[in-house]
Structure 1
Amino acid sequence: MDHKENIAVLLTCFNRREKTIACLKSLFRASLPARIKLEVFLVDDGSTDGTSEAVRDTFPSINIIQGTGNLFWNRGMHLAWETAANQADFDYYMWLNDDVILYEQALEVILQSSKEKPDSIICGSMCSSNNKTLTYGGIDENHNLLEPSDVIQQCTKFNGNLLLVPDSVYKKVGNLDPKFPHAIGDFDYANRAIKSGFKNYITPGFLGVCDEHDSLPIWCLSEVPLKKRIKALYSPLGNSHPYYFFYYERKNYSLGLAIKHFLTIHLRLLFPRLWKLKKN
Protein backbone atom coordinates (compact mmCIF):
# COMPACT_ATOMS: atom_id res chain seq x y z
CA MET A 1 0.00 0.00 0.00
CA ASP A 2 1.31 3.44 -0.92
CA HIS A 3 2.31 5.70 1.93
CA LYS A 4 -0.17 8.51 2.54
CA GLU A 5 1.59 11.87 2.38
CA ASN A 6 0.26 14.71 4.50
CA ILE A 7 0.49 18.37 3.54
CA ALA A 8 -0.08 21.21 5.98
CA VAL A 9 -1.43 24.16 3.98
CA LEU A 10 -0.52 27.44 5.69
CA LEU A 11 -2.38 30.72 5.20
CA THR A 12 -2.88 34.00 7.01
CA CYS A 13 -5.65 36.51 6.37
CA PHE A 14 -7.08 39.84 7.43
CA ASN A 15 -10.40 41.33 6.30
CA ARG A 16 -10.43 39.78 2.84
CA ARG A 17 -13.37 37.42 3.38
CA GLU A 18 -14.38 37.01 -0.26
CA LYS A 19 -10.80 36.58 -1.47
CA THR A 20 -10.00 34.13 1.32
CA ILE A 21 -13.06 32.00 0.57
CA ALA A 22 -12.33 32.09 -3.18
CA CYS A 23 -8.74 30.99 -2.55
CA LEU A 24 -9.84 28.09 -0.33
CA LYS A 25 -12.45 27.00 -2.86
CA SER A 26 -9.76 26.87 -5.55
CA LEU A 27 -7.55 24.83 -3.19
CA PHE A 28 -10.23 22.20 -2.59
CA ARG A 29 -11.22 22.15 -6.28
CA ALA A 30 -7.67 21.36 -7.35
CA SER A 31 -7.02 17.78 -8.40
CA LEU A 32 -5.00 15.82 -5.88
CA PRO A 33 -3.16 12.48 -6.12
CA ALA A 34 -4.87 9.76 -4.09
CA ARG A 35 -1.87 9.42 -1.82
CA ILE A 36 -2.09 13.05 -0.64
CA LYS A 37 -4.08 14.40 2.30
CA LEU A 38 -4.42 18.13 2.98
CA GLU A 39 -4.87 19.80 6.35
CA VAL A 40 -5.33 23.57 6.34
CA PHE A 41 -4.10 25.95 9.04
CA LEU A 42 -5.45 29.48 8.68
CA VAL A 43 -4.43 32.38 10.91
CA ASP A 44 -7.13 35.05 11.05
CA ASP A 45 -5.24 38.09 12.28
CA GLY A 46 -8.12 39.96 13.87
CA SER A 47 -10.52 40.20 10.91
CA THR A 48 -13.70 42.20 11.59
CA ASP A 49 -15.50 41.29 8.34
CA GLY A 50 -16.64 37.81 9.39
CA THR A 51 -13.82 35.91 7.70
CA SER A 52 -13.51 33.27 10.44
CA GLU A 53 -17.26 32.66 10.53
CA ALA A 54 -17.47 32.35 6.73
CA VAL A 55 -14.52 29.92 6.64
CA ARG A 56 -15.96 27.87 9.49
CA ASP A 57 -19.35 27.64 7.77
CA THR A 58 -17.92 26.77 4.35
CA PHE A 59 -14.95 24.60 5.38
CA PRO A 60 -15.58 23.20 8.89
CA SER A 61 -12.48 20.98 8.75
CA ILE A 62 -10.06 23.93 8.53
CA ASN A 63 -7.98 24.78 11.60
CA ILE A 64 -8.57 28.46 12.37
CA ILE A 65 -6.02 30.17 14.61
CA GLN A 66 -6.87 33.59 15.98
CA GLY A 67 -4.08 36.15 15.69
CA THR A 68 -3.40 39.22 17.77
CA GLY A 69 -4.24 41.71 15.03
CA ASN A 70 -0.58 42.73 14.79
CA LEU A 71 0.95 39.72 13.06
CA PHE A 72 0.71 40.71 9.38
CA TRP A 73 1.82 38.21 6.70
CA ASN A 74 5.17 36.87 7.90
CA ARG A 75 4.33 36.53 11.59
CA GLY A 76 0.91 35.15 10.70
CA MET A 77 2.52 32.49 8.52
CA HIS A 78 5.03 31.78 11.30
CA LEU A 79 2.15 31.13 13.71
CA ALA A 80 0.32 28.92 11.20
CA TRP A 81 3.51 26.90 10.60
CA GLU A 82 4.31 26.62 14.29
CA THR A 83 0.78 25.41 15.04
CA ALA A 84 0.86 22.82 12.25
CA ALA A 85 4.30 21.47 13.20
CA ASN A 86 3.29 21.15 16.84
CA GLN A 87 0.06 19.34 15.98
CA ALA A 88 1.39 16.54 13.76
CA ASP A 89 4.23 15.31 11.57
CA PHE A 90 3.71 16.45 7.99
CA ASP A 91 5.54 15.40 4.85
CA TYR A 92 5.21 18.88 3.33
CA TYR A 93 4.31 22.41 4.33
CA MET A 94 2.60 24.50 1.66
CA TRP A 95 2.52 28.30 1.81
CA LEU A 96 -0.52 29.80 0.14
CA ASN A 97 -1.49 33.48 -0.08
CA ASP A 98 -5.19 34.04 0.42
CA ASP A 99 -5.43 36.19 -2.73
CA VAL A 100 -4.30 33.32 -4.98
CA ILE A 101 -6.70 31.38 -7.21
CA LEU A 102 -5.11 28.02 -7.95
CA TYR A 103 -5.44 26.28 -11.30
CA GLU A 104 -6.97 22.81 -11.19
CA GLN A 105 -3.65 21.07 -11.87
CA ALA A 106 -1.58 23.25 -9.50
CA LEU A 107 -1.15 20.74 -6.68
CA GLU A 108 -0.33 17.86 -9.01
CA VAL A 109 2.31 19.95 -10.82
CA ILE A 110 3.99 21.23 -7.66
CA LEU A 111 4.04 17.75 -6.12
CA GLN A 112 5.44 16.18 -9.28
CA SER A 113 8.13 18.89 -9.36
CA SER A 114 8.99 18.03 -5.77
CA LYS A 115 9.33 14.36 -6.71
CA GLU A 116 11.73 15.33 -9.50
CA LYS A 117 13.70 17.67 -7.21
CA PRO A 118 13.50 16.01 -3.78
CA ASP A 119 14.69 17.84 -0.67
CA SER A 120 14.21 21.17 -2.45
CA ILE A 121 11.80 24.09 -2.14
CA ILE A 122 9.35 24.32 -5.04
CA CYS A 123 7.71 27.63 -5.97
CA GLY A 124 4.61 28.01 -8.14
CA SER A 125 4.54 31.02 -10.48
CA MET A 126 1.51 33.31 -10.58
CA CYS A 127 0.07 35.31 -13.46
CA SER A 128 -2.29 38.26 -13.77
CA SER A 129 -6.00 37.69 -14.27
CA ASN A 130 -6.30 39.97 -17.30
CA ASN A 131 -3.37 39.41 -19.65
CA LYS A 132 -1.69 36.34 -18.13
CA THR A 133 1.62 38.09 -17.50
CA LEU A 134 4.00 36.94 -14.78
CA THR A 135 3.34 38.58 -11.40
CA TYR A 136 4.99 36.43 -8.68
CA GLY A 137 7.28 33.42 -8.53
CA GLY A 138 10.97 32.61 -8.55
CA ILE A 139 13.71 35.23 -8.81
CA ASP A 140 17.10 34.74 -10.47
CA GLU A 141 20.56 35.91 -9.38
CA ASN A 142 20.00 39.22 -11.20
CA HIS A 143 16.90 39.95 -9.10
CA ASN A 144 14.53 39.36 -12.03
CA LEU A 145 11.37 37.26 -11.97
CA LEU A 146 11.88 34.00 -13.84
CA GLU A 147 9.42 33.43 -16.68
CA PRO A 148 8.16 29.86 -16.27
CA SER A 149 8.74 27.50 -19.18
CA ASP A 150 7.86 23.85 -19.78
CA VAL A 151 10.67 22.64 -17.50
CA ILE A 152 11.66 23.07 -13.86
CA GLN A 153 14.08 25.97 -13.34
CA GLN A 154 16.35 26.78 -10.44
CA CYS A 155 15.85 30.14 -8.74
CA THR A 156 17.72 32.12 -6.11
CA LYS A 157 14.82 33.67 -4.20
CA PHE A 158 11.05 33.42 -4.39
CA ASN A 159 7.79 35.13 -3.54
CA GLY A 160 5.82 33.18 -0.98
CA ASN A 161 2.46 33.11 -2.82
CA LEU A 162 2.61 29.35 -3.41
CA LEU A 163 5.47 27.30 -2.05
CA LEU A 164 6.05 23.67 -1.18
CA VAL A 165 8.57 22.97 1.59
CA PRO A 166 9.40 19.31 2.28
CA ASP A 167 9.70 18.27 5.89
CA SER A 168 13.40 17.48 5.28
CA VAL A 169 13.98 21.18 4.53
CA TYR A 170 11.86 22.34 7.47
CA LYS A 171 13.75 20.11 9.89
CA LYS A 172 17.03 21.82 8.97
CA VAL A 173 15.99 25.38 8.04
CA GLY A 174 13.12 25.77 10.49
CA ASN A 175 10.25 28.23 10.47
CA LEU A 176 10.08 31.74 9.02
CA ASP A 177 12.04 34.35 10.97
CA PRO A 178 9.44 36.10 13.19
CA LYS A 179 11.61 39.21 13.30
CA PHE A 180 9.92 40.30 10.07
CA PRO A 181 6.31 41.42 10.54
CA HIS A 182 5.08 41.39 6.94
CA ALA A 183 7.46 41.39 3.96
CA ILE A 184 11.00 40.05 3.31
CA GLY A 185 10.49 36.81 5.25
CA ASP A 186 10.13 34.79 2.04
CA PHE A 187 13.40 36.18 0.61
CA ASP A 188 15.11 35.49 3.92
CA TYR A 189 13.84 31.89 3.93
CA ALA A 190 15.15 31.33 0.40
CA ASN A 191 18.61 32.49 1.45
CA ARG A 192 18.55 30.38 4.59
CA ALA A 193 17.62 27.30 2.58
CA ILE A 194 20.53 27.81 0.19
CA LYS A 195 22.94 28.36 3.09
CA SER A 196 21.70 25.06 4.56
CA GLY A 197 22.58 23.23 1.35
CA PHE A 198 19.16 23.10 -0.33
CA LYS A 199 18.05 24.38 -3.74
CA ASN A 200 15.02 26.43 -4.82
CA TYR A 201 13.07 25.79 -8.02
CA ILE A 202 10.01 26.98 -9.92
CA THR A 203 7.56 24.60 -11.52
CA PRO A 204 6.81 24.45 -15.23
CA GLY A 205 4.05 26.87 -16.26
CA PHE A 206 1.76 29.05 -14.18
CA LEU A 207 -0.03 27.44 -11.24
CA GLY A 208 -2.52 30.17 -10.47
CA VAL A 209 -3.69 33.75 -10.65
CA CYS A 210 -2.56 36.49 -8.30
CA ASP A 211 -2.73 40.08 -9.49
CA GLU A 212 0.28 42.25 -8.80
CA HIS A 213 0.06 45.02 -6.24
CA ASP A 214 0.97 48.60 -7.12
CA SER A 215 4.34 48.66 -8.88
CA LEU A 216 5.71 51.47 -6.72
CA PRO A 217 5.00 51.87 -3.00
CA ILE A 218 3.55 55.16 -1.73
CA TRP A 219 6.84 56.24 -0.19
CA CYS A 220 8.43 56.37 -3.68
CA LEU A 221 5.82 58.70 -5.18
CA SER A 222 6.75 62.37 -5.46
CA GLU A 223 3.11 63.47 -5.61
CA VAL A 224 2.51 62.09 -2.09
CA PRO A 225 3.29 64.51 0.78
CA LEU A 226 6.51 63.79 2.67
CA LYS A 227 4.75 63.07 5.97
CA LYS A 228 2.59 60.46 4.31
CA ARG A 229 5.62 58.95 2.52
CA ILE A 230 7.47 58.60 5.84
CA LYS A 231 4.45 56.92 7.42
CA ALA A 232 4.18 54.50 4.49
CA LEU A 233 7.88 53.63 4.57
CA TYR A 234 7.81 52.84 8.27
CA SER A 235 4.52 50.95 8.14
CA PRO A 236 4.77 47.23 9.01
CA LEU A 237 3.15 46.61 5.61
CA GLY A 238 6.02 48.30 3.76
CA ASN A 239 8.32 46.07 1.72
CA SER A 240 11.42 48.17 2.49
CA HIS A 241 10.95 49.12 6.13
CA PRO A 242 14.42 50.52 6.93
CA TYR A 243 14.88 48.58 10.17
CA TYR A 244 13.79 45.18 8.83
CA PHE A 245 15.49 45.61 5.47
CA PHE A 246 18.73 46.52 7.26
CA TYR A 247 18.36 43.40 9.43
CA TYR A 248 17.71 41.24 6.35
CA GLU A 249 20.73 42.49 4.41
CA ARG A 250 23.06 42.43 7.41
CA LYS A 251 21.98 38.85 8.14
CA ASN A 252 22.13 37.54 4.58
CA TYR A 253 24.78 39.67 2.84
CA SER A 254 27.00 42.22 4.57
CA LEU A 255 27.02 45.18 6.93
CA GLY A 256 28.30 47.43 4.13
CA LEU A 257 25.39 46.60 1.82
CA ALA A 258 22.90 47.04 4.65
CA ILE A 259 24.28 50.52 5.44
CA LYS A 260 24.34 51.50 1.76
CA HIS A 261 20.70 50.62 1.20
CA PHE A 262 19.62 52.13 4.51
CA LEU A 263 20.98 55.44 3.18
CA THR A 264 19.63 55.10 -0.38
CA ILE A 265 16.14 54.18 0.87
CA HIS A 266 16.00 57.45 2.81
CA LEU A 267 17.43 59.42 -0.12
CA ARG A 268 14.70 58.03 -2.32
CA LEU A 269 12.15 58.91 0.36
CA LEU A 270 13.34 62.52 0.49
CA PHE A 271 14.01 63.05 -3.23
CA PRO A 272 11.73 60.73 -5.25
CA ARG A 273 11.80 63.04 -8.29
CA LEU A 274 15.58 62.82 -8.55
CA TRP A 275 15.37 59.05 -8.29
CA LYS A 276 12.83 58.94 -11.09
CA LEU A 277 15.02 61.14 -13.30
CA LYS A 278 18.01 58.92 -12.57
CA LYS A 279 16.04 55.84 -13.54
CA ASN A 280 14.86 57.46 -16.79
Structure 2
Amino acid sequence: MLYIVIPVFNRRAYTRACLLSLREQTRADFRIIVVDDGSTDGTDVMLTNEFPEVEVVTGDGKLFWTAGVNAGIRRALTHEASRLLTLNNDVLVPPDFVENMLLWADRRPDALLGALELDAATGQPIYGGERVNWRNNTSQYLLAELPETRRHGLHPVTYLPGRGLLIPLRVIQEIGLFDEQRLPHYLADYDYTSVARQHGFPVFCNYDAPLSTYPDESGQQQTRRHRSFRGYYQHLFGIRGGGNLRNFTHFALRNCPPRYMPYYLLNGYARRLVGYFLH
Protein backbone atom coordinates (compact mmCIF):
# COMPACT_ATOMS: atom_id res chain seq x y z
CA MET A 1 0.00 0.00 0.00
CA LEU A 2 1.19 3.51 -0.84
CA TYR A 3 1.17 6.02 2.02
CA ILE A 4 1.38 9.75 1.27
CA VAL A 5 3.05 11.77 4.04
CA ILE A 6 2.40 15.53 4.19
CA PRO A 7 4.08 17.68 6.87
CA VAL A 8 2.19 20.90 7.63
CA PHE A 9 2.52 23.96 9.82
CA ASN A 10 -0.30 26.47 9.39
CA ARG A 11 -1.19 27.56 5.82
CA ARG A 12 -4.54 25.83 6.17
CA ALA A 13 -5.81 26.91 2.74
CA TYR A 14 -2.87 25.24 0.99
CA THR A 15 -3.40 22.02 2.93
CA ARG A 16 -7.12 21.96 2.06
CA ALA A 17 -6.43 22.51 -1.64
CA CYS A 18 -3.76 19.80 -1.67
CA LEU A 19 -6.01 17.26 0.04
CA LEU A 20 -8.92 18.08 -2.25
CA SER A 21 -6.71 17.40 -5.27
CA LEU A 22 -5.77 14.02 -3.78
CA ARG A 23 -9.47 13.17 -3.44
CA GLU A 24 -9.82 13.42 -7.21
CA GLN A 25 -7.24 10.73 -8.04
CA THR A 26 -8.04 8.08 -10.64
CA ARG A 27 -6.50 5.49 -8.31
CA ALA A 28 -7.65 5.29 -4.72
CA ASP A 29 -5.32 2.58 -3.40
CA PHE A 30 -3.37 4.87 -1.10
CA ARG A 31 -3.66 6.38 2.36
CA ILE A 32 -2.74 9.87 3.59
CA ILE A 33 -0.92 10.83 6.77
CA VAL A 34 -0.71 14.52 7.66
CA VAL A 35 1.85 15.53 10.26
CA ASP A 36 0.47 18.69 11.85
CA ASP A 37 3.37 20.27 13.71
CA GLY A 38 1.46 22.47 16.11
CA SER A 39 -0.53 24.60 13.65
CA THR A 40 -2.39 27.51 15.25
CA ASP A 41 -4.65 28.51 12.34
CA GLY A 42 -7.36 25.89 12.72
CA THR A 43 -5.69 23.26 10.57
CA ASP A 44 -6.48 20.60 13.19
CA VAL A 45 -10.21 21.40 13.18
CA MET A 46 -10.32 21.46 9.39
CA LEU A 47 -8.64 18.06 9.16
CA THR A 48 -11.08 16.56 11.65
CA ASN A 49 -14.22 18.05 10.12
CA GLU A 50 -13.42 17.98 6.40
CA PHE A 51 -10.99 15.11 5.91
CA PRO A 52 -11.93 12.22 8.22
CA GLU A 53 -10.15 9.79 5.89
CA VAL A 54 -6.78 11.41 6.69
CA GLU A 55 -4.72 10.09 9.57
CA VAL A 56 -3.14 12.89 11.61
CA VAL A 57 0.12 12.79 13.54
CA THR A 58 0.62 15.82 15.81
CA GLY A 59 3.85 17.58 16.70
CA ASP A 60 4.87 20.29 19.15
CA GLY A 61 5.98 22.89 16.62
CA LYS A 62 9.64 21.84 16.65
CA LEU A 63 9.70 19.10 14.02
CA PHE A 64 10.41 21.19 10.93
CA TRP A 65 10.33 19.41 7.56
CA THR A 66 12.66 16.49 8.16
CA ALA A 67 11.45 15.28 11.54
CA GLY A 68 7.87 15.85 10.40
CA VAL A 69 8.32 13.63 7.37
CA ASN A 70 10.09 11.01 9.46
CA ALA A 71 7.24 11.00 11.98
CA GLY A 72 4.78 10.35 9.17
CA ILE A 73 6.92 7.61 7.67
CA ARG A 74 7.26 5.89 11.04
CA ARG A 75 3.49 5.89 11.41
CA ALA A 76 3.07 4.54 7.86
CA LEU A 77 5.53 1.73 8.60
CA THR A 78 3.35 0.58 11.49
CA HIS A 79 0.62 0.06 8.87
CA GLU A 80 3.02 -2.03 6.76
CA ALA A 81 3.36 0.53 3.98
CA SER A 82 5.14 -0.82 0.90
CA ARG A 83 5.79 2.60 -0.66
CA LEU A 84 6.00 6.12 0.74
CA LEU A 85 5.39 9.38 -1.06
CA THR A 86 6.40 12.65 0.60
CA LEU A 87 4.36 15.65 -0.47
CA ASN A 88 4.41 19.29 0.60
CA ASN A 89 1.09 20.88 1.47
CA ASP A 90 1.58 23.77 -0.99
CA VAL A 91 1.22 21.61 -4.10
CA LEU A 92 -1.68 20.56 -6.30
CA VAL A 93 -1.72 17.23 -8.09
CA PRO A 94 -3.70 16.35 -11.25
CA PRO A 95 -6.15 13.41 -11.11
CA ASP A 96 -3.70 10.95 -12.69
CA PHE A 97 -0.72 11.86 -10.49
CA VAL A 98 -0.83 8.80 -8.24
CA GLU A 99 -1.69 6.56 -11.19
CA ASN A 100 1.35 7.70 -13.16
CA MET A 101 3.63 7.47 -10.16
CA LEU A 102 2.54 3.91 -9.41
CA LEU A 103 2.70 2.92 -13.08
CA TRP A 104 6.41 3.71 -13.19
CA ALA A 105 6.98 2.42 -9.66
CA ASP A 106 5.71 -0.98 -10.78
CA ARG A 107 8.11 -0.90 -13.74
CA ARG A 108 11.09 0.30 -11.65
CA PRO A 109 10.36 -1.07 -8.17
CA ASP A 110 13.75 -0.12 -6.69
CA ALA A 111 13.77 3.45 -8.00
CA LEU A 112 13.07 6.72 -6.20
CA LEU A 113 10.76 8.86 -8.31
CA GLY A 114 10.30 12.62 -8.25
CA ALA A 115 7.73 14.82 -9.95
CA LEU A 116 7.99 17.34 -12.75
CA GLU A 117 7.11 20.70 -11.20
CA LEU A 118 4.83 23.27 -12.81
CA ASP A 119 4.16 26.86 -11.76
CA ALA A 120 0.60 26.84 -10.38
CA ALA A 121 0.02 30.35 -11.71
CA THR A 122 1.14 29.78 -15.30
CA GLY A 123 1.16 26.01 -15.79
CA GLN A 124 4.69 26.24 -17.17
CA PRO A 125 7.38 23.69 -16.17
CA ILE A 126 9.85 25.16 -13.69
CA TYR A 127 11.86 22.16 -12.45
CA GLY A 128 12.51 18.79 -14.02
CA GLY A 129 15.52 17.54 -12.13
CA GLU A 130 19.24 18.12 -12.48
CA ARG A 131 22.53 16.32 -12.89
CA VAL A 132 25.38 17.68 -10.82
CA ASN A 133 28.96 18.11 -11.95
CA TRP A 134 30.72 17.83 -8.60
CA ARG A 135 34.05 18.93 -10.08
CA ASN A 136 32.94 22.51 -10.74
CA ASN A 137 29.74 22.66 -8.68
CA THR A 138 27.43 23.20 -11.63
CA SER A 139 24.16 21.55 -12.60
CA GLN A 140 22.70 20.46 -15.90
CA TYR A 141 19.02 21.30 -15.59
CA LEU A 142 17.03 18.82 -17.63
CA LEU A 143 14.32 21.28 -18.61
CA ALA A 144 16.95 23.35 -20.41
CA GLU A 145 18.30 20.30 -22.22
CA LEU A 146 15.21 18.28 -23.12
CA PRO A 147 13.07 19.28 -26.11
CA GLU A 148 9.34 19.11 -25.47
CA THR A 149 9.10 15.91 -27.51
CA ARG A 150 11.25 14.13 -24.89
CA ARG A 151 9.55 15.48 -21.80
CA HIS A 152 7.90 12.24 -20.83
CA GLY A 153 8.84 9.09 -18.95
CA LEU A 154 11.75 8.78 -16.52
CA HIS A 155 14.99 10.75 -16.63
CA PRO A 156 17.96 9.99 -14.32
CA VAL A 157 19.01 12.78 -11.95
CA THR A 158 21.54 13.28 -9.14
CA TYR A 159 18.98 13.99 -6.42
CA LEU A 160 15.36 15.04 -5.92
CA PRO A 161 13.32 17.43 -3.77
CA GLY A 162 10.77 15.99 -1.37
CA ARG A 163 7.77 17.90 -2.75
CA GLY A 164 6.56 14.77 -4.53
CA LEU A 165 9.00 11.96 -3.84
CA LEU A 166 8.10 8.27 -4.06
CA ILE A 167 10.34 5.99 -1.96
CA PRO A 168 10.21 2.19 -2.10
CA LEU A 169 10.18 0.41 1.24
CA ARG A 170 13.44 -1.33 0.37
CA VAL A 171 15.26 2.02 0.32
CA ILE A 172 14.12 2.82 3.86
CA GLN A 173 15.08 -0.66 5.02
CA GLU A 174 18.60 -0.19 3.66
CA ILE A 175 19.50 3.45 4.38
CA GLY A 176 16.96 4.43 7.05
CA LEU A 177 15.04 7.69 7.32
CA PHE A 178 15.90 11.30 6.51
CA ASP A 179 18.71 12.90 8.56
CA GLU A 180 16.68 14.97 11.00
CA GLN A 181 19.61 15.57 13.36
CA ARG A 182 22.01 17.24 10.93
CA LEU A 183 19.59 18.39 8.22
CA PRO A 184 16.42 19.44 10.07
CA HIS A 185 14.85 21.35 7.15
CA TYR A 186 16.62 22.19 3.88
CA LEU A 187 18.81 19.74 1.92
CA ALA A 188 17.50 16.68 3.75
CA ASP A 189 15.62 15.56 0.64
CA TYR A 190 18.56 16.13 -1.72
CA ASP A 191 20.85 14.35 0.73
CA TYR A 192 18.54 11.37 1.13
CA THR A 193 18.05 10.77 -2.56
CA SER A 194 21.73 11.29 -3.32
CA VAL A 195 22.73 8.81 -0.63
CA ALA A 196 20.17 6.33 -1.97
CA ARG A 197 21.70 6.67 -5.43
CA GLN A 198 25.14 5.97 -3.97
CA HIS A 199 23.67 2.76 -2.53
CA GLY A 200 22.63 1.63 -5.99
CA PHE A 201 19.01 2.80 -6.09
CA PRO A 202 18.12 4.61 -9.34
CA VAL A 203 16.83 8.17 -8.95
CA PHE A 204 14.52 9.55 -11.65
CA CYS A 205 12.36 12.56 -12.33
CA ASN A 206 9.02 11.28 -13.61
CA TYR A 207 7.89 13.59 -16.39
CA ASP A 208 4.56 11.74 -16.64
CA ALA A 209 3.59 12.84 -13.11
CA PRO A 210 3.60 16.65 -12.89
CA LEU A 211 2.44 18.64 -9.90
CA SER A 212 1.84 22.35 -9.44
CA THR A 213 3.75 24.47 -6.94
CA TYR A 214 3.88 28.06 -5.73
CA PRO A 215 7.57 28.99 -6.11
CA ASP A 216 7.17 32.50 -4.68
CA GLU A 217 5.81 31.09 -1.41
CA SER A 218 8.94 29.20 -0.40
CA GLY A 219 10.72 30.27 2.77
CA GLN A 220 13.87 31.15 0.83
CA GLN A 221 12.02 33.48 -1.52
CA GLN A 222 10.22 35.25 1.29
CA THR A 223 13.46 35.78 3.24
CA ARG A 224 15.18 37.26 0.19
CA ARG A 225 12.18 39.43 -0.65
CA HIS A 226 12.67 41.38 2.60
CA ARG A 227 16.44 41.65 2.86
CA SER A 228 17.90 42.65 6.20
CA PHE A 229 20.86 41.85 8.42
CA ARG A 230 18.65 39.55 10.47
CA GLY A 231 17.41 37.86 7.29
CA TYR A 232 21.01 37.41 6.11
CA TYR A 233 21.92 35.77 9.42
CA GLN A 234 18.91 33.46 9.17
CA HIS A 235 19.83 32.66 5.56
CA LEU A 236 23.28 31.46 6.64
CA PHE A 237 22.61 29.96 10.06
CA GLY A 238 18.86 29.53 10.66
CA ILE A 239 17.14 26.14 10.48
CA ARG A 240 14.97 27.42 7.63
CA GLY A 241 17.88 29.22 5.98
CA GLY A 242 18.32 28.16 2.36
CA GLY A 243 22.02 29.05 2.54
CA ASN A 244 22.71 27.41 5.90
CA LEU A 245 26.47 26.86 5.94
CA ARG A 246 26.45 23.98 8.40
CA ASN A 247 23.82 22.08 6.43
CA PHE A 248 25.70 22.63 3.19
CA THR A 249 28.93 21.38 4.76
CA HIS A 250 27.27 18.20 5.96
CA PHE A 251 25.64 17.64 2.57
CA ALA A 252 28.96 18.13 0.78
CA LEU A 253 30.89 15.78 3.07
CA ARG A 254 28.31 13.04 2.54
CA ASN A 255 27.81 13.39 -1.18
CA CYS A 256 30.65 15.13 -3.02
CA PRO A 257 33.50 12.86 -4.23
CA PRO A 258 36.58 13.55 -2.05
CA ARG A 259 38.80 14.64 -4.94
CA TYR A 260 36.40 17.50 -5.73
CA MET A 261 35.67 18.44 -2.12
CA PRO A 262 37.94 21.50 -1.61
CA TYR A 263 36.65 23.41 -4.63
CA TYR A 264 33.06 22.30 -4.09
CA LEU A 265 33.10 23.59 -0.52
CA LEU A 266 34.82 26.90 -1.28
CA ASN A 267 32.58 27.57 -4.25
CA GLY A 268 29.49 26.63 -2.26
CA TYR A 269 30.41 28.88 0.66
CA ALA A 270 31.02 31.82 -1.68
CA ARG A 271 27.66 31.33 -3.40
CA ARG A 272 25.83 31.29 -0.10
CA LEU A 273 27.63 34.31 1.31
CA VAL A 274 26.85 36.54 -1.67
CA GLY A 275 23.80 34.81 -3.18
CA TYR A 276 21.40 36.31 -0.64
CA PHE A 277 21.97 39.73 -2.21
CA LEU A 278 21.93 38.63 -5.84
CA HIS A 279 18.51 36.98 -6.17
TM-score tier by shorter-chain length is 0.7 to 0.9
1:17, 1:204 → 2: CA distance? 29
- Give the secondary-structure state (helix, strand or coil) at the position aligned to 2:216: coil
Q: How far is 1:201 from its partner?
A: 1.0
Deviation at 1:206, TM superposition (A): 4.8
Q: Which runs of 5+ in 2 are unaligned?
A: 134-138, 144-149
Q: Which one has a bigger Cα radius of gyration? A: 1
Q: Which segment drifts farther, 13-22 or 132-141?
A: 132-141
CA change 1:55–1:227 in 2 (3 A) is closer
Q: CA deviation at 1:217?
A: 4.7
Q: Give the superposition deviation at 1:256.
A: 2.6
Q: Which TM-score applies when normalising by structure 1?
A: 0.84
Which of 15, 22, 26 matches 1:27? 22
Q: Does 1:228 find its partner at 2:234? A: no
Which of 217, 238, 241 is equivalent to 2:241? 238
Contact 2:116 2:125 in 1 (8 A): yes
* C-alpha spacing 1:227/1:161, structure 2 compared with 1 (3 Å): closer
Q: For 1:53 and 1:13, locate their aligned partners in 2 and report how far apart those are by CA, in whole Å.
A: 14
| Structure 1 SS opposite 2:142 | coil
Aligned length: 263
Q: Does 1:37 align with 2:29?
A: yes
Tell me: CA distance 1:10–1:243, structure 2 relative to 1, closer, same or farther (3 Å).
same
Deviation larger for 148-157 or 162-171: 148-157
User: Measured at CA, do residues 112 and 123 of structure 1 come closer, stay the same or move farther in structure 2, by a change above 3 Å?
Assistant: same
Cα deviation for residue 181 of structure 1 reads 1.5
Q: Deviations over 1:153-207 (max 9, x none)?
A: 1111111111111112221122111121211011001111111111011223452
Superposition RMSD in Å: 2.5
Once the two structures are aligned, what percentage of the paired residues are identical?
A: 24
Trace 1:1-280 onto structure 2 (pairs within 5 A): 6-32=1-27, 37-85=29-77, 87-142=78-133, 143-147=139-143, 149-178=151-180, 179-213=182-216, 217=221, 224-253=227-256, 254=258, 256-257=262-263, 259-261=265-267, 263-265=269-271, 267-268=273-274, 272=277, 276=278
d(CA) in 2 for partners of 1:63, 1:208:
22
Q: Can you give the 5+ residue segments of structure 1 that lack an aligned partner in the other structure?
A: 1-5
| 8 A contact 2:234–2:241 mirrored in 1 | no
